[in-house]
Structure 1
């Protein structure tokens, strides 16, 4: 078909290609509106590309879970709000994604994580978890908190709860292994995973409590323990 536009018309900037990367499914609901307070809350913790993307998603999911509408899927709300939660480098990344290339919330999460938590970082943290060991002069509680911290940094590590407990147990010095065996009434690894986790958490609390008590009795010139209290959270198994 012949192009009947004039040269001036042909030289004009195109009007296509300006659609957003995120495609939000049509919302056919009465009285649907995203309230400004919800948008403000999302914007209160913007991700710039320098923070932990997993923590950002956790915060974002908590915020958006407060919105409920019987006719609107929560995933649609997330797709609408997510751009408001980005700034700087992260916003630039989203703006550069091809138009209409993100069709679902899972698509968005996958692209976001792969952009700001690349596979190389996953491999690095998985190796740190696999090769974890209790450092010299590190208390049981300190080792446990450090181990859980590595797991939280990489929630998609893929290690089963059994693998995690086995790795941690075998990373300990002989005294702490013996203490776990004693608390288990035999071989620690003969326990069910949930029982083993409960034993570790209990031992961690007791050791921390004793450490705090000892700290209150030592002189001000003595070094203080660097132990931090357990957050009682289960090991990540995602």
Structure 2
């Protein structure tokens, strides 16, 4: 076979090298995306991945690969297994799986905040192995009664009776609505907060200070958002 790796392909994978400090799954996705753009009629895609992958490593990650015993990695599957085991060890997987299983909405956490935190845990451990149904069941049962009732109401009955695709759509919809409402409410509270200046209570003094700080924060955020849009 007259096959050789194109220098342009090598340059492409070297533009986003893995050092061992970032998410190894993201790097595998990047590698798969790059190699999917190249085809050879006589060479399997897994072989191209296998040959190209070392060029995508540097620093600690490249040192690890170079120190692997001879003939210990013979296929793309071998390489992926050892790569993940090295940079996403089983102990980290166990920890994140437990965080997902035992997920609970915090006392002062909004629906949107809880959902974003739950999704972030899932993203951190893409090989968690939980089905979509299991994920939705875990999230629903982690919520406070009011938010559970809100999901049931949106579902027109028991939320968990919905198929995963519909359940996810309901959660995303409720999350966006509640996020929007909370921002509107916070804005109104900060603008309308006016407390009696004659009150000798330290409680009122503290609230006045807090309201003033919130107003200043709103002004700074507005300037920041405006600078982004300009």
**Cα distance 1:213–1:33, how it changes in 2: closer, same or farther (>3 A)?**
farther
User: Structure 1: how far apart are the matches of 2:109 and 2:31?
Assistant: 35
1:214 deviates by 4.5
Aligned length: 195
User: Structure 2: how far apart are the matches of 1:191 and 1:178?
Assistant: 14
Between 1 and 2, higher relative CO (CA 8 Å, sep ≥ 6) is seen in: 1
1:118 deviates by 1.0
User: Structure 2: how far apart are the matches of 1:73 and 1:66?
Assistant: 13
1:5-154 counterparts in 2 under 5 A?
A: 28=1, 30=2, 32-154=3-125
User: Which structure shows the bigger proportion of residues in helix conformation?
Assistant: 2
User: Structure 2: how far apart are the matches of 1:57 and 1:131?
Assistant: 28
User: Structure 2: how far apart are the matches of 1:182 and 1:90?
Assistant: 50
1:167 aligns with 2:125: no
User: Structure 2: how far apart are the matches of 1:177 and 1:78?
Assistant: 46
1:189 aligned counterpart, secondary structure: helix
**Cα distance 1:215–1:65, how it changes in 2: closer, same or farther (>3 A)?**
farther
User: Structure 2: how far apart are the matches of 1:121 and 1:86?
Assistant: 22
Q: More deviation in 137-146 or 110-119?
A: 137-146
Q: CA RMSD in A?
A: 1.9
> 1:195 pairs with 146, 162, 166, which one?
166
Runs of at least 5 residues in structure 2 that lack an aligned partner in the other structure = 192-211, 219-230
User: Structure 1: how far apart are the matches of 2:5 and 2:106?
Assistant: 50
Runs of at least 5 residues in structure 1 that lack an aligned partner in the other structure = 1-27, 225-238
User: Structure 2: how far apart are the matches of 1:200 and 1:94?
Assistant: 43
TM-score (norm 2): 0.78
User: Structure 2: how far apart are the matches of 1:207 and 1:119?
Assistant: 37
> 1:176 pairs with 143, 147, 165, which one?
147
